[in-house]
Amino acid sequence: MDPKQPNSSQDPSGKRRPPMPMRALLAWFLLMALLVTMFQLATQHASKQTSLPYNPDFLTLLQDGRINKAEVVMEVSGQHFIRGELKDLDPATGKPTTFRVEAPITENLVEKLTDAKVPFEFKPQNPLLWQILSSTVPFLLVFGLIYFLFYRNMANGTRGAFSFGKSRARLLNRDNNKITFKDVAGVDEAREEVQEIIEFLRDPKRFQRLGGRIPKGVLLVGPPGTGKTLIARAIAGEAQVPFFSISGSDFVEMFVGVGASRVRDMFEQGRKSAPCIIFIDEIDAVGRSRFSGIGGGHDEREQTLNALLVEMDGFDTQEGVIIIAATNRPDVLDPALLRPGRFDRQIVVDLPNVEGRESILKIHARKVKLDAAVQLRNIARGTPGFSGADLANLMNEAALLAARRGADTILEKDLEEARDKVRWGRERRSRVLDEKEKRMTACHEAGHAIALALTEGTEPLHKVTIIPRGQALGATIQLPEKDKYTEGRKQLLGMIVGTMGGRAAEKICFDDITTGAASDIRQATHIARMMVTEWGMSDNLGPQYFGTREELLFLGREVSRSNEMSDETARKVDAEVKRIIDESYDKALDLLTRNRDKLDLLTNILIERESLDGRDVDDILQHGRILSAAERNAEEVAKESEKAPPPPA
């Protein structure tokens, strides 16, 4: 457990409550056992006694001599009854059957019992006070038990059965929250936008003096794992104010009105602890659009949302309470939640770029032992699309791999292996391929590598392997020089050519095709369709947009595409997509046919070594073999000398 996180043994002020003594726990256990025992005995006693009428049943039993013994109980009112047991055994228990008879006062019971030779005795009934106490004390004990177990727990701040209307927000006070912006990297723009919130919490009068109004609410938007929660905690840590954290799912319960009650209680706690920050994670769980179309609505969730809207309208930022929420689905939030006066500001926390990834890796590298030769820049370049959580997982996996090897430090190869494991899965060396499948896989990946290496506009080749990972039998990995946010038409066509290179290589080497190109075909078709329908890169159809995505909010995903084009245009779109893919496949086929010798050579080396890096592939394509380290150094020196300007005359 994180020591910075509050637990159930802490009250809202952050002070630790003393645990319940063992003697008190034992006393409660014994009390419960006593109550259960008394109830069972009373139930058993009542169930054993059979009520009989005096005439004729009791008199008949008395005449037949079937009564073993009896007691004549004298009541306070002057009446009396007979209690005793029969000689007959109960078939269920094997013990004598007990009975009770209401006897009339006029009857001479003593004579009849004496004549029947039944042993008996007189027994006065318990006093009235004892009857009252015996009937009320168990109820008082049960009531007292309920009081101490539930109401006392509520007074101590614990979550008893009557506290489900209380807020479940966890409090991090100034002493427990050690997170600052030193622990946050890769989100420089977001840090700049929240800086004024920190300054307001530190010195509210500075803004109030000028008549400025700080935003009531800040909505952090971004993909999962980008550090939205970490930013919120860092804001509280920098401002040195209490930090209330709650998830959107904690508001919604099966009981109507509980969520709204928790919202009101959360804001009340915030006002008492002002200045402070209230952080609602995954607010889309409670803040979805009030929707009554397909799938119906959710009354409890909508009531909770209404309570949240009212509370955000009802407090003033001058009180020093800032609401911060996080979501990765801003498109499903209710418009009333996003209007000015509630969540005034939306801050995008996007995936980090290469510089941001390097900074994040450096932060996580503080906790592990890296080798001095490790270049985190190379790892950052090879992880485009990784979030902060992915990079943290990468560093942890690298540490585990190094520990498994028995190494003292983490090498760069450990980080690369961890990157491949996070992205594609663990190596599956247990999946043994026969010679034909292994050659087919090597030929497929060699086709990818050659097509990518010899096609203009593609990213540099980083690694080729035929070691199975996840569901893939092999992989061809590229290493971008820098992050790209747009792609040109030549680059996209080059990507399709490289993608179809594997299928073309199978056709050349074996005059056959396999199922291994399924993902390649899917990727190529997606790129080609996007080029035609959304990016306007078709020569035949021109810069036009075809079709829009429609989403159902209660599903939260794309379910259909509206038909904004005629059937004839749709056929033209399909024909254009097919043309792009066919031309790219023909280009890959021609490229590999002209370099058949290099394709065979690379295939054979892949079968032998299983993995090759980008420099090995370049050596094979340029020199027909893999150069030694000395030869590569000499080649690099020669290239540098060619680039150097000539000396002045």
Q: What positions carry a catalytic annotation?
A: 445
Amino acid at 312: M
- What contacts 132, CB < 8 A, 6 or more positions away? none
**CA-CA distance, 172 to 170, in Å (whole number)?**
7
CB 333 within 8 A of CB 284: yes
First CA to last CA distance, the chain: 73
Amino acid at 481: E
Amino acid at 29: F
CA 145 to chain centre: 38
**CA-CA distance, 623 to 616, in Å (whole number)?**
10
- What contacts 92, CB < 8 A, 6 or more positions away? none
Q: Answer left, alpha or beta for residue 610, where phi above 0 means left and psi between -120 and 50 means alpha.
A: left
**CA-CA distance, 349 to 342, in Å (whole number)?**
20
CB 533 within 8 A of CB 582: no
CA dist list (Å): 629 to 11, 461, 635, 636, 643? 64, 19, 10, 11, 21
Dihedral of the alpha carbons of 604, 605, 607, 611, in degrees to the nearest 10: -150
Paired strand residues for 469: 427, 472
CA dist list (Å): 71 to 48, 84, 137? 16, 6, 27
Max CA-CA distance within the chain? Answer: 152
Instruction: State both tokens at 196.
Output: 């004024």
**CA-CA distance, 235 to 184, in Å (whole number)?**
10
Give the up-direction half-sphere exposure of residue 233: CA atoms within 13 A in the CB hemisphere. 22
Q: E strand or H helix at 608, and its extent?
A: helix 596-609
Instruction: State both tokens at 77.
Output: 């009112």
CB 517 within 8 A of CB 581: no
**Residue 478, SS3 per DSSP:** strand
- Number of CB atoms found within 10 A of residue 120's CB: 17
CA 457 to chain centre: 39
Please report the sign of the dihedral spanned by the C-alpha atoms of residue 307, residue 310, residue 312, residue 316: negative
Nearest to 208 by CA among 199, 220, 217, 221: 199
**CA-CA distance, 177 to 293, in Å (whole number)?**
43
CB 532 within 8 A of CB 577: yes
CA dist list (Å): 344 to 94, 313, 325, 330, 479? 80, 12, 12, 14, 40
Cis, bond preceding 56 (omega within 30 deg of 0) = yes
